[in-house]
Amino acid sequence: MESIVEEIRQCTRCPLCATRNKVVPGEGPLNAKIIIIGEGPGEENDKTGRPFVGRGGQILDRFLMQVGLNREELYLTNIIKCRMPHNATPSKNIVEKCITFLDAQIKVISPKVIITLGLPAAKAILDNATLKLSDLKNRVFQRGNIKVICTYHPSSIRYNKNASQDIINSLMIAKGLSNEE
Ligand code: URA
Protein backbone atom coordinates (compact mmCIF):
# COMPACT_ATOMS: atom_id res chain seq x y z
CA MET A 1 0.00 0.00 0.00
CA GLU A 2 2.88 2.36 0.78
CA SER A 3 4.09 2.25 -2.78
CA ILE A 4 0.57 2.81 -4.13
CA VAL A 5 0.20 5.88 -1.89
CA GLU A 6 3.58 7.19 -2.98
CA GLU A 7 2.57 6.77 -6.62
CA ILE A 8 -0.66 8.69 -5.93
CA ARG A 9 1.36 11.50 -4.31
CA GLN A 10 3.58 11.77 -7.39
CA CYS A 11 0.72 11.34 -9.89
CA THR A 12 0.45 13.74 -12.84
CA ARG A 13 -1.85 11.59 -14.99
CA CYS A 14 -4.61 14.19 -15.16
CA PRO A 15 -5.05 17.97 -14.77
CA LEU A 16 -6.27 17.63 -11.16
CA CYS A 17 -2.63 17.41 -10.08
CA ALA A 18 -2.34 21.14 -10.83
CA THR A 19 -5.31 22.20 -8.69
CA ARG A 20 -5.18 19.81 -5.73
CA ASN A 21 -3.74 20.80 -2.38
CA LYS A 22 -3.34 17.27 -1.06
CA VAL A 23 -4.01 13.88 -2.58
CA VAL A 24 -6.50 11.77 -0.63
CA PRO A 25 -5.38 8.18 -1.05
CA GLY A 26 -7.61 6.62 1.63
CA GLU A 27 -7.20 5.37 5.17
CA GLY A 28 -7.92 2.40 7.37
CA PRO A 29 -6.48 -0.95 8.34
CA LEU A 30 -5.04 -3.05 5.53
CA ASN A 31 -6.92 -6.09 6.82
CA ALA A 32 -10.30 -4.31 6.70
CA LYS A 33 -13.21 -6.60 5.81
CA ILE A 34 -15.12 -3.69 4.28
CA ILE A 35 -13.98 -0.95 1.88
CA ILE A 36 -16.19 2.09 1.53
CA ILE A 37 -15.74 3.95 -1.75
CA GLY A 38 -16.98 7.49 -2.29
CA GLU A 39 -17.02 9.74 -5.32
CA GLY A 40 -13.99 11.88 -4.65
CA PRO A 41 -12.36 14.27 -2.20
CA GLY A 42 -14.25 17.41 -1.20
CA GLU A 43 -12.84 20.69 0.06
CA GLU A 44 -12.07 19.47 3.57
CA ASN A 45 -10.50 16.27 2.25
CA ASP A 46 -8.31 18.23 -0.16
CA LYS A 47 -7.08 20.36 2.76
CA THR A 48 -6.38 17.49 5.13
CA GLY A 49 -5.47 14.63 2.79
CA ARG A 50 -8.02 12.47 4.65
CA PRO A 51 -11.21 10.92 3.24
CA PHE A 52 -14.67 11.57 4.68
CA VAL A 53 -13.78 14.28 7.20
CA GLY A 54 -16.08 17.05 5.94
CA ARG A 55 -19.87 17.28 6.16
CA GLY A 56 -20.39 14.13 4.07
CA GLY A 57 -17.99 12.34 6.39
CA GLN A 58 -19.89 13.42 9.48
CA ILE A 59 -23.12 12.09 8.01
CA LEU A 60 -21.39 8.84 7.10
CA ASP A 61 -20.03 8.52 10.65
CA ARG A 62 -23.55 8.90 12.03
CA PHE A 63 -24.87 6.11 9.79
CA LEU A 64 -21.96 3.84 10.66
CA MET A 65 -22.65 4.37 14.35
CA GLN A 66 -26.34 3.63 13.88
CA VAL A 67 -25.62 0.20 12.40
CA GLY A 68 -22.77 -0.59 14.79
CA LEU A 69 -19.93 -0.39 12.28
CA ASN A 70 -16.68 1.00 13.61
CA ARG A 71 -15.03 3.48 11.23
CA GLU A 72 -11.59 2.46 12.57
CA GLU A 73 -12.13 -1.05 11.20
CA LEU A 74 -13.05 0.04 7.68
CA TYR A 75 -10.93 1.20 4.77
CA LEU A 76 -12.30 4.46 3.37
CA THR A 77 -11.37 5.76 -0.03
CA ASN A 78 -12.73 7.24 -3.27
CA ILE A 79 -12.78 6.44 -6.97
CA ILE A 80 -10.54 9.44 -7.61
CA LYS A 81 -7.80 10.67 -5.30
CA CYS A 82 -7.78 14.41 -6.01
CA ARG A 83 -10.50 17.01 -5.66
CA MET A 84 -12.50 18.04 -8.71
CA PRO A 85 -12.78 21.85 -8.88
CA HIS A 86 -16.22 22.91 -7.57
CA ASN A 87 -16.79 19.28 -6.52
CA ALA A 88 -17.95 18.45 -10.05
CA THR A 89 -18.69 14.84 -10.94
CA PRO A 90 -15.46 13.31 -12.25
CA SER A 91 -15.41 12.75 -16.00
CA LYS A 92 -15.09 9.24 -17.42
CA ASN A 93 -11.62 10.16 -18.65
CA ILE A 94 -10.41 11.18 -15.20
CA VAL A 95 -11.93 8.12 -13.55
CA GLU A 96 -10.24 5.88 -16.12
CA LYS A 97 -6.86 7.47 -15.40
CA CYS A 98 -7.25 7.15 -11.62
CA ILE A 99 -9.08 3.85 -11.19
CA THR A 100 -5.95 1.69 -11.38
CA PHE A 101 -4.99 3.09 -7.95
CA LEU A 102 -8.29 1.91 -6.49
CA ASP A 103 -7.97 -1.47 -8.21
CA ALA A 104 -4.52 -1.88 -6.67
CA GLN A 105 -5.81 -0.86 -3.21
CA ILE A 106 -8.64 -3.39 -3.45
CA LYS A 107 -6.10 -6.09 -4.35
CA VAL A 108 -3.94 -5.27 -1.32
CA ILE A 109 -6.83 -5.15 1.14
CA SER A 110 -8.78 -8.01 -0.38
CA PRO A 111 -11.97 -7.14 1.54
CA LYS A 112 -15.05 -9.31 1.88
CA VAL A 113 -17.35 -6.44 0.99
CA ILE A 114 -17.18 -3.23 -1.04
CA ILE A 115 -19.76 -0.51 -0.36
CA THR A 116 -20.05 2.17 -3.02
CA LEU A 117 -21.58 5.54 -2.13
CA GLY A 118 -23.30 7.41 -4.94
CA LEU A 119 -23.78 6.56 -8.62
CA PRO A 120 -20.30 7.49 -9.93
CA ALA A 121 -18.71 5.04 -7.47
CA ALA A 122 -21.21 2.31 -8.37
CA LYS A 123 -20.53 2.80 -12.07
CA ALA A 124 -16.79 2.72 -11.57
CA ILE A 125 -16.88 -0.49 -9.55
CA LEU A 126 -19.53 -2.35 -11.53
CA ASP A 127 -18.08 -1.04 -14.78
CA ASN A 128 -21.47 -0.17 -16.22
CA ALA A 129 -22.48 3.28 -17.40
CA THR A 130 -26.23 2.64 -17.60
CA LEU A 131 -27.00 1.99 -13.97
CA LYS A 132 -29.52 3.65 -11.67
CA LEU A 133 -29.10 3.51 -7.90
CA SER A 134 -32.78 2.82 -7.40
CA ASP A 135 -32.26 -0.45 -9.35
CA LEU A 136 -29.04 -1.33 -7.55
CA LYS A 137 -29.92 -0.82 -3.92
CA ASN A 138 -30.64 -3.93 -1.87
CA ARG A 139 -28.83 -6.13 -4.37
CA VAL A 140 -25.57 -7.91 -3.79
CA PHE A 141 -23.14 -7.96 -6.71
CA GLN A 142 -20.02 -10.02 -7.01
CA ARG A 143 -16.60 -8.78 -8.09
CA GLY A 144 -14.38 -11.87 -8.07
CA ASN A 145 -14.97 -13.18 -4.56
CA ILE A 146 -15.81 -9.75 -3.14
CA LYS A 147 -19.44 -8.83 -2.49
CA VAL A 148 -20.47 -5.36 -3.73
CA ILE A 149 -23.28 -3.27 -2.24
CA CYS A 150 -24.19 0.01 -3.95
CA THR A 151 -26.00 2.70 -2.04
CA TYR A 152 -26.68 6.43 -2.01
CA HIS A 153 -24.06 8.97 -1.09
CA PRO A 154 -24.57 10.28 2.46
CA SER A 155 -24.69 13.86 1.11
CA SER A 156 -27.80 12.94 -0.89
CA ILE A 157 -29.96 12.87 2.24
CA ARG A 158 -30.33 16.64 1.77
CA TYR A 159 -32.55 16.16 -1.29
CA ASN A 160 -33.63 12.49 -1.11
CA LYS A 161 -35.87 11.88 1.88
CA ASN A 162 -35.67 8.10 1.60
CA ALA A 163 -31.91 7.90 1.21
CA SER A 164 -31.19 7.68 4.95
CA GLN A 165 -33.14 4.48 5.38
CA ASP A 166 -31.70 3.04 2.17
CA ILE A 167 -28.15 3.79 3.32
CA ILE A 168 -28.81 2.22 6.73
CA ASN A 169 -30.28 -0.90 5.09
CA SER A 170 -27.28 -1.20 2.78
CA LEU A 171 -24.81 -0.82 5.64
CA MET A 172 -26.67 -3.49 7.61
CA ILE A 173 -26.54 -5.88 4.65
CA ALA A 174 -22.82 -5.17 4.22
CA LYS A 175 -22.16 -5.72 7.90
CA GLY A 176 -23.93 -9.08 7.78
CA LEU A 177 -21.99 -10.16 4.69
CA SER A 178 -18.69 -9.11 6.22
CA ASN A 179 -19.33 -11.39 9.20
CA GLU A 180 -20.14 -14.45 7.10
CA GLU A 181 -17.55 -17.22 7.07
N1 URA B 1 -15.46 12.78 1.45
C2 URA B 1 -14.85 11.88 0.66
O3 URA B 1 -13.69 11.56 0.84
N4 URA B 1 -15.55 11.35 -0.35
C5 URA B 1 -16.81 11.64 -0.60
O6 URA B 1 -17.39 11.08 -1.54
C7 URA B 1 -17.43 12.61 0.24
C8 URA B 1 -16.73 13.15 1.27
Render pLDDT for 122-157 as a digit per residue (tens, 0 to 9): 999 997 767 788 888 889 999 999 999 999 999 999
| Secondary structure letter of residue 118 according to DSSP | S
* b/e per residue 23-60 (b: at least 16 CB within 10 A): bbbbbbeeebbbbbbbbbbbebbbeebbbbbbebbebb
Mean pLDDT of 82-86: 95
Q: What domain range is 106 assigned to? A: 2-178
pLDDT at 181 over 80: no
131 within 8 A of 119, measured Cβ to Cβ: yes
The per-residue pLDDT for 180 is 87
Structural domain tally of the chain? 1
Cα 102 to ligand 1 centroid, rounded to whole Å: 14
Any residues with Cβ below 6 Å from ligand 1, and which?
Answer: 24, 38-42, 45, 51-52, 54, 56-57, 78
CATH code (residue 89): 3.40.470.10
| Separation of alpha carbons 118 and 132, rounded Å | 10
* Residues 47 and 22: beta-carbon distance below 8 Å: yes
* Residue of minimum CA distance from atom 5 in ligand 1: 38
Mean pLDDT for 21-29 is: 98
Sign (positive/negative) of CA torsion 173, 176, 177, 178? positive
Instruction: State in Å: Cα 154 to ligand 1 middle.
Output: 9
